[in-house]
Amino acid sequence: MQMGRHAAAQIRRLQAGRPTAPFRYHDKGTMATIGYRSAVVQLPGHLRINGTVAWLAWLALHLITLLGSRNRITTMVNLSWRYLT
C-alpha cells in the first residue's frame, strides 16, 4: 500500500516536470491470528502483545481497513456468527 501511494505520487511528480523522490518504507508492525481468540502482534519499538487482546486488536484493525460500511457490517456479522457457533 505504501509503495502504491508512492508510485502514484511519483507519476504525478513526473507529469509536473519535477524530479522523483526515493521510497522510504515505514514499518507498521506485524499481526497474525493463530487460533481461537489468539493472535500475536508485534509493533515497532519491540512492543509485543499476544492472546485475546492481540486477537481483538487484529479484529478491530481488520474491520477498520475494510472499504465501505456494508463490507464492515457483513464481515462483523460473519465473524460474530463463526465465533458464536
Query: Across the strands, what pairs with 47?
Result: 43
DSSP state of 17: T
pTM summary value = 0.60
Count the helices and strands in the chain (H runs, E runs): 3, 3
**Domain extents for the chain?**
2-84
Predicted local distance difference test score (pLDDT) of residue 36: 80
pLDDT digits (tens, 9 = 90+) for 50-62: 999 998 888 888 8
